[in-house]
Amino acid sequence: MMQDESDKGWCVSMEIQILDTIQLLRCSFLDVLMPLISNGLVLWFALAAILMIRGVTRRTGWILLTAIVLEIILCHVVMKNVFQRVRPCDVNPAVSLLVSRPTDYSFPSGHTALSFAVVTGLWLSGDLKQWRLPALMFAFLIAFSRLYLYVHYPTDVLAGILTGIFCGWAAVKIVQKTMAVRKQVQEAAA
């Protein structure tokens, strides 16, 4: 049973209303598709690994791997434990989940953060320009799937997007700096 308005606050109440409105879209097709899209997160790890193997894309692979590591640390180790936000499926258990109930906290959305960390890293790397738009669209689909699946609030997803963008940007800066230092060391040794 949903908690009353005074227990949740107006913001959470509004977010639950948004999630309940999204639930009106539920149909058998989307009920199958959305968990698959949400689990598509694995593709980001595969993309980073594939890019690491090829010499011409190795720098971009390093950027994506660094973005993933930064996202895991910032989102899953730090932010989720600092904010400790309960999930909407715990506030409104009347909604039947299509996925196993996540065991960690809700804020921010880790799936969304990781997706946007990879997309931002890919976008800012300057490589693989033909993959940018499809990757961005897939990242937005993953973000929406988290709302459809009733496991994140809209502000969790928004914070995930912003966290991911920051991690992707930071990864580019870290890899650029590391490569510049490595080049200086190689030149000094020569």
CATH number of the domain that 173 lies in? 1.10.606.20
On whether residue 5 sits in a domain, the answer given is no
On whether residue 14 sits in a domain, the answer given is no
**Which residues are CB-contacts of 122 (< 8 A; sequence separation ≥ 6)?**
60, 63, 64, 128, 131, 132, 135, 168
- Name the DSSP letter for residue 97: P
Contacts made by residues 180-185, CB under 8 angstroms, sequence distance 24+: none
Q: Total domain count for the chain?
A: 1
**Boundaries of domain holding 108:** 39-189
136 burial (CB, 10 Å; 0-12 / 13-18 / 19+) is middle
51 burial (CB, 10 Å; 0-12 / 13-18 / 19+) is buried
How does pLDDT run across 30-52, given as a tens digit for each residue?
999 999 999 988 999 999 999 99
On whether residue 126 sits in a domain, the answer given is yes
Q: How far apart are CA 74 and CA 108, in angstroms?
A: 10
The structure tokens 């299509």 sit at 98
Confidence of residue 182 (pLDDT cuts 50, 70, 90): confident
Residue 29 token pair: 């097709």
On whether residue 15 sits in a domain, the answer given is no
Give me the pLDDT at residue 44, please.
Answer: 93
Q: How far apart are CA 143 and CA 117, in angstroms?
A: 12
Q: Which amino acid is at 2?
A: M
On whether residue 100 sits in a domain, the answer given is yes
* pLDDT at residue 92 is higher than 50: yes
Instruction: Report percent pLDDT > 90 for the chain.
Output: 75
How does pLDDT run across 151-178, given as a tens digit for each residue?
999 999 999 999 999 999 999 999 999 9
Whole-Å CA distances, 104 to 56, 91, 109: 38, 15, 10
- Phi, psi for residue 164 in degrees, rounded to 5: -65, -45
Confidence of residue 181 (pLDDT cuts 50, 70, 90): confident
On whether residue 148 sits in a domain, the answer given is yes
On whether residue 79 sits in a domain, the answer given is yes
On whether residue 31 sits in a domain, the answer given is no
